[in-house]
Amino acid sequence: MNEEFDVIIIGGGVVGCAIAWYLAHFDLQILLLEKELDVCSGVSKANTGIIHSRSYWTPHTLKGELHLRSLSWIEQAEKELDIEFLKTGALTMAFSRDDLEFLQTLKERGKIEGAQILAPREAHTLEPMISDKIFAAYYDPETRVASPFELNIALAESAFLNGVHFILGQEVVGFEEEKSIVGVLTENGKYLSRWVVNCAGLSSSYLAQKSGDNIPSLRPLRGEYLVLDRECRGLVHHVLYPVPVGETKGILVSPTTDGNILVGPNLEPAEDEDTSTTKEGLKEVEEGGKKLIPSLPVSQTIATFSGLRPTLPDRDFHIFFSSRFPSLLHLVGIESPGLTASFGIAEYVGDLLHKRGLKLRERSDFVIRSSFPVFRKLPWEERERLIQEDDNWGKIVCRCEEVTVAEVKHALLSSPGASTLDGLKRRVRVMMGRCQGGFCGMRLPFLMAETLGLEERRIVKSGRNSFYLGEETKEVRSGASLY
Amino acid sequence: MPRSIRGDVVVIGGGPAGMAAALSSWEAGAKSVFLLERNEYLGGILPQCIHPGFGLQIWGEELTGPEYAEIFIENLNRTGVEAMTDTAALELTPERIVKAVNPQGAWEIKANSIILSMGCRERTRGMLQIPGYRPAGIFTAGLAQYLVNIAGYLPGKDIVILGSGDIGLIMARRLTLEGARVKMVVEIKNSLSGLVRNYVQCIQDFNIPLLFSHTVTEVRGKERVEAVVISEVDEEGNPLSGGEREVECDTLLLSVGLIPENELSRQAKIPLSPQTGGPWVDEDFSTDLEGFFACGNVASVFDLVDYVTLVAERAGRAAVLARPPQEKHILRAGEGVHTVIPQRIREGKDGFLFIRPQKSMKGVTVSFWEREKIFYQKKISICRPSEMIKLDLAQIPWPQEKGEIKVEIKGTEIQGIS
Ligand SMILES: Cc1cc2nc3c(=O)[nH]c(=O)nc-3n(C[C@H](O)[C@H](O)[C@H](O)COP(=O)(O)OP(=O)(O)OC[C@H]3O[C@@H](n4cnc5c(N)ncnc54)[C@H](O)[C@@H]3O)c2cc1C
Ligand SMILES: Cc1cc2nc3c(=O)[nH]c(=O)nc-3n(C[C@H](O)[C@H](O)[C@H](O)COP(=O)(O)OP(=O)(O)OC[C@H]3O[C@@H](n4cnc5c(N)ncnc54)[C@H](O)[C@@H]3O)c2cc1C
């Protein structure tokens, strides 16, 4: 590409995609480079997905400031992206008189209408399954739950729809001076841009060091989770927080946008990019969850996973221009609440670039995204209508989450579309239900290969070498239709 | 609007259970029978089971899965049973309305009787909570069986199998014949889960190591499986520290159990047994909710398809008779018993009782208790958890008065394979 961009964004996580989406409102040539084969492949794919309310902001920090700034974007984002955050509300549970003070702080910090401190009995009326050892609980009506995948991907799709270029599977390895602009070096070449934004998540400090900037390396702090079967829906209705001890919000129990229950995360130091789960970690998560809900049905666990918080020693966000490349902006340490703060971060980044000279001329032709129908949520009349339009709506590929061939094809053919099995999973929830791909694992790789015109053996789970199928068998295959 | 139709009998699931049930409903005089199957083909799990081992009990001859299924498909073709393949039942109400979709449209089917025969699904890694990474290369054994036998692909080259259930054992042989290296089968218990004949023919004959009292405690490899860590376990199944070792492999197959597929039954509020995971049923395979029947693996995991056929035929007939509810004996699993099915006895005049023991034992006595009194005993030389004990209901002198009956198995425990 010899083209010169106005802005190159490095990283297709929720932050990179929010910046792309925000800047797409202006008349700019934008390119997003992502090293993985899909957007939403880093920190943004493995977190709790909570849109923390005003009560949970951290004063005197940049992350606190951007958190608050982001909250005023919620409604516009929901409209423009055609997504909906689940306004569950939250209960923060205190187990001793000493914790009461913390509840008071939350209440004062939030100044949220309808927020209140509840006596145990009132808390039990809201959430009958919570521990009867509680001393009091803070009720906050403003907490929301997002599907982190849906948000990240909707931002990417909206950005694409409005002209942002995406190049996936392209790792940035360094920067080069090019007169007054920056050359962004990747494995396969060089891209030129007036402005560059490094929001490479866990690699952001490494890239900042590559550009000659002095920033400590990120310390990944891992959090592990249990996902419970949708059968447990109704067990909790609000996000349940403990009163935190130490560095994080603690182990939560939270409903998800899709009716599962999420338990976690714990906090433990981890090696670089080590997103494995451990026996001890999962045990700790289980115990943490049971402290809030003693009868937590952990036997209904359908999956476990872990995510890495990209943290700096002061646990704040660091957003700064490179000392060597004046138009290269680094975003380092975007840990929790980075998802919540993503809109605020995007606007802030826009402001910083603008102050240094980036012209922001608002476009009049910005297109609103409309999300593709989700079969599982449609009324029967609508199902019948869609099947008459396209019989792929009548073919269920994933029986746990009731996903149809029509939805899978759309996810494969949309932009930026799924090119991996995990990418499909994050878009349409195949392989994510209680059988974890036992059923749709028979169909998806073949449907995917056919739709994308790929060889079946090239189908990967997520990374370039994560091949799903082995060699062909000796016998000629049966010729049965495969999905 | 969805298309509305009515039927005498609607059968959900077109595996061996559903096919046999639909056939016998038709033969018993049902005027309209719908058989709903979400796959493109009938037969359930059978088309992918290309090994012989089906039909010995009822036809005295060993057929392969596809051959066994073919007999029923041909018989069905000679009846007026309407087989709707590619049709997924998605909703079920207590009023016996099934909602389903297929490429033709959305359907609402009202039935006088509904037969549930949805089979079961496999237990997954997530349920076992095996720690480690989440790379490609972890498959349930049944999924791998489909990939090999129907799709024509190996799941990988170097394979570790967790669980000594039949599907795992059969896949060990199949994969070896296809040129993959099955490095070992690891079993958490101290005895075999599957059939001894499968151990002999699939493991021993191919010199595949089988480790009892071991489990997989970690998955390594970020993109594709690179190794698993196996560890010895104590009697409760907890890994012993210090006993870990790494086994290089690119594939982990899980053969760690099946779960009856009862999402629809739950929607219809059919009472389920915590032991079997399926509806409580009587000898007609009638559930506790009038007009609903359940047969095959949806009711309880059967290891032999022949037994599935036997019980499904009873369910099919009973669905047409639609006898009114009446008081029944209630069977409870006592000492040594994993599950009994049926758990309700209406008359006990004909039909079968299947009992799955908890452990491998020899010199076995099966006892039936009414309150403090044993009213029937049966001696058996040997029993194993992998094989259900099948009894004729008519042999058992059921008490006059309906009440609770406890079934118990006692014997000398045997370990390992013998
Ligand atoms: C356990 C946990 C729980 C959390 N819970 C919450 C919560 O409830 N609410 C909340 O608001 N926040 C939460 N967060 C924080 C939130 O998830 C993160 O702040 C947010 O996802 C960060 O997004 P990002 O785009 O900066 O990073 P990422 O999603 O990691 O995106 C960075 C992208 O850059 C790519 N990349 C890296 N290097 C290169 C390169 N050299 N070239 C090209 N591309 C590159 C990566 O592949 C990645 O896709 C949580 C985080 C964790 C870990
Ligand atoms: C790998 C393997 C090897 C075996 N080997 C032997 C052997 O050697 N000898 C032997 O005798 N037995 C063997 N068995 C056991 C035997 O195959 C089973 O007991 C038998 O298949 C159970 O029959 P079923 O009809 O209850 O379930 P299934 O065969 O599982 O059929 C259930 C059917 O219901 C359909 N269905 C489920 N839900 C819905 C819905 N909502 N809508 C529409 N359709 C639905 C499914 O698609 C499926 O086709 C083996 C089983 C397996 C898995």
Strands, E assignment, B196-286 = 210-211, 214-220, 227-233, 239-248, 251-254, 258-260
One domain, residues B383 and B301:
no
pLDDT tens for residues A439-460? 999 999 999 999 999 999 999 9
- In the reported structure, the alpha carbon of residue B46 is separated from the centroid of ligand 2 by a whole-number distance in angstroms of 6
One domain, residues B172 and B230:
yes
Q: Which residue of A has its CA nearest to B156?
A: A470
Contact check, Cβ <8 Å, B41/A480: yes
* Residues of chain B neighbouring A476 (CB-CB closer than 8 A): 152
Specify the pLDDT at position B1: 65
**A63 pLDDT more than 90:** yes
**A331 pLDDT more than 70:** yes
The answer to whether residue A466 neighbours chain B at the CB level (below 8 Å) is yes
Specify the pLDDT at position A480: 46
Contact check, Cβ <8 Å, B105/A399: no
Q: For all residues of chain A together, what is the average pLDDT?
A: 95
One domain, residues B90 and B11:
yes
Within-domain flag for B300: yes
**Ligand lying closest to the C-alpha of residue A201:** 1
One domain, residues B98 and B186:
no
**Ligand lying closest to the C-alpha of residue A315:** 1
Band of pLDDT at residue A2, cut at 50, 70 and 90:
low
The answer to whether residue A373 neighbours chain B at the CB level (below 8 Å) is no
Nearest CB among B132, B142, B224 relative to A438 is that of B142
One domain, residues B409 and B312:
no
Specify the pLDDT at position B415: 80
Within-domain flag for B39: yes
Residue of A439, A440, A456 to mutate when probing chain B, most B C-beta within 10 A: A439
- Paired strand residues for A472: B153
The answer to whether residue A477 neighbours chain B at the CB level (below 8 Å) is yes
Ligand 1: residues whose CB is within 6 Å? A 10-16, 33-36, 41-44, 47-50, 52, 171-172, 199-203, 207, 223, 265, 307-309, 334-340
pLDDT tens for residues A404-427? 999 999 999 999 999 999 999 999
Q: Write out chain B's pLDDT in tens, 418 residues.
A: 679 999 999 999 999 999 999 999 999 999 999 999 999 999 999 999 999 989 988 888 999 999 999 999 999 999 999 999 999 999 999 999 999 999 999 999 999 999 999 999 999 998 898 999 999 999 999 999 999 999 999 999 999 999 999 999 999 999 999 999 999 999 999 888 898 889 999 999 999 999 999 999 999 999 999 999 999 999 888 999 888 999 999 999 999 999 999 999 999 999 999 989 999 999 999 999 999 999 999 999 998 999 999 999 999 999 999 898 899 999 999 999 999 999 999 999 999 999 999 999 999 999 999 999 999 999 999 999 989 999 999 999 999 999 999 999 999 998 877 6
Specify the pLDDT at position B58: 85
Which pair of tokens denotes residue B313? 């035929």
CA of A388 to nearest chain B CA: how many angstroms apart? 7
Ligand 2: residues whose CB is within 6 Å? B 12-18, 36-39, 44-46, 49, 53-54, 88-89, 117-119, 142, 145, 166-167, 170, 261, 264, 296-298, 302-306, 308
**Ligand lying closest to the C-alpha of residue A311:** 1
- Number of domains chain B contains: 3
Alpha helices (runs of H) in B157-268, residue ranges in sequence order: 166-177, 196-202, 263-267
CA of B123 to nearest chain A CA: how many angstroms apart? 7
Which of B64, B171, B305, B309 should be mutated for ligand 2, with most atoms under 8 A from CB? B305
3-state secondary structure of A406: helix
End-to-end CA distance of chain A: 39
Distance between CA atoms of residues A234 and B85, nearest Å = 34
For chain A, which residues make up each domain, given as ranges? Answer: 4-48+148-217+314-356, 90-141+219-309, 375-458
Specify the pLDDT at position A367: 96
- In the reported structure, the alpha carbon of residue A342 is separated from the centroid of ligand 1 by a whole-number distance in angstroms of 10
**Structural element, H or E, at residue B73:** helix B65-77
A422, A430 Cβ separation under 8 angstroms: no
Q: Which atom of ligand 1 is nearest to the CA of A341?
A: 11
Specify the pLDDT at position A180: 80
**A468 pLDDT more than 90:** yes
Specify the pLDDT at position A1: 53
Residue of B109, B124, B216 to mutate when probing chain A, most A C-beta within 10 A: B124
Within-domain flag for B418: no
Q: Count how many pairs of residues, chain A against chain B, have C-beta atoms within 8 Å.
A: 163
Q: Which residue of A has its CA nearest to B150?
A: A478
Chosen domain end from B296, B325, B354: B325
Chosen domain end from B287, B310, B325: B325
One domain, residues B317 and B349:
no
Look at the alpha carbons of A151, A154, A158, A163 in this order and tell me if their dihedral is positive or negative. positive
* Residues of chain B neighbouring A393 (CB-CB closer than 8 A): 101
One domain, residues B230 and B171:
yes
Q: Which residue of A has its CA nearest to B102?
A: A394
The residue-averaged pLDDT of A186-190 equals: 92
3-state secondary structure of A207: helix
Report the 10 Å Cβ neighbour count for A135. 17
**Ligand lying closest to the C-alpha of residue A342:** 1
**Structural element, H or E, at residue B341:** strand B337-341
pLDDT tens for residues A369-404? 999 999 999 999 999 999 999 999 999 999 999 999
CA of B157 to nearest chain A CA: how many angstroms apart? 7
Band of pLDDT at residue A336, cut at 50, 70 and 90:
very high
Q: Tell which residue, A417, A425, A477, has the closest CA to residue A451.
A: A417
Specify the pLDDT at position A481: 43
- In the reported structure, the alpha carbon of residue B45 is separated from the centroid of ligand 2 by a whole-number distance in angstroms of 4
Q: Tell which residue, A100, A140, A76, has the closest CA to residue A369.
A: A76
Distance between CA atoms of residues B283 and A445, nearest Å = 42
- Give A 296-325 residues with CB within 8 A of chain B: 301-305
Contact check, Cβ <8 Å, B131/A394: no
* Residues of chain B neighbouring A391 (CB-CB closer than 8 A): 103-104
Contact check, Cβ <8 Å, B1/A276: no
Q: What are the residues whose beta carbons fall under 8 Å from the beta carbon of A283, sequence distance 6 or more?
A: none
**Ligand lying closest to the C-alpha of residue B310:** 2
Within-domain flag for B402: yes
Q: Residue with the nearest Cα to atom 48 of ligand 2? A: B44
Q: Residue with the nearest Cα to atom 37 of ligand 1? A: A200
B129, A282 Cβ separation under 8 angstroms: yes
Within-domain flag for B74: yes
One domain, residues B97 and B147:
no
Distance between CA atoms of residues B163 and B140, nearest Å = 10
pLDDT tens for residues A73-88? 999 999 999 999 999 9
Specify the pLDDT at position A479: 44
Band of pLDDT at residue A469, cut at 50, 70 and 90:
very high
* Residues of chain A neighbouring B124 (CB-CB closer than 8 A): 302, 434-436, 438
Nearest CB among A279, A438, A466 relative to B143 is that of A438
CATH of domain A90-141+219-309: 3.30.9.10
Contact check, Cβ <8 Å, A304/B178: no
One domain, residues B210 and B282:
no
Strands, E assignment, A214-369 = 219-228, 239-242, 252-255, 261-264, 268-269, 301-311, 318-321, 328-332
Q: Which residue of A has its CA nearest to B85?
A: A395
One domain, residues B382 and B317:
no
Q: For A4-48+148-217+314-356, give the CATH class.
A: alpha beta
* Residues of chain A neighbouring B41 (CB-CB closer than 8 A): 480
Domain of residue B214 covers 124-254
One domain, residues B19 and B110:
yes
**A483 pLDDT more than 60:** no
- What DSSP assignment string belongs to B149-166? III-B-S-SEEEEE--SH
Contact check, Cβ <8 Å, A473/B152: yes
CATH number at B57 reads 3.50.50.60
**A56 pLDDT more than 90:** yes
**A482 pLDDT more than 90:** no
One domain, residues B17 and B43:
yes
Contact check, Cβ <8 Å, B122/A435: yes
Which pair of tokens denotes residue B7? 């039927």
Specify the pLDDT at position A475: 66
Nearest CB among A282, A438, A477 relative to B121 is that of A438
- In the reported structure, the alpha carbon of residue A43 is separated from the centroid of ligand 1 by a whole-number distance in angstroms of 3
Nearest CB among B126, B133, B250 relative to A275 is that of B133
CA of B363 to nearest chain A CA: how many angstroms apart? 35
- In the reported structure, the alpha carbon of residue B143 is separated from the centroid of ligand 2 by a whole-number distance in angstroms of 13
Q: What are the residues whose beta carbons fall under 8 Å from the beta carbon of A217, sequence distance 6 or more?
A: A205, A206, A209
Which one of the listed residues A25, A52, A330, A410 is annotated catalytic? A52
Active site residue A52: yes
Strands, E assignment, A90-210 = 90-94, 116-118, 136-140, 144-145, 165-168, 172-178, 181-186, 189-198
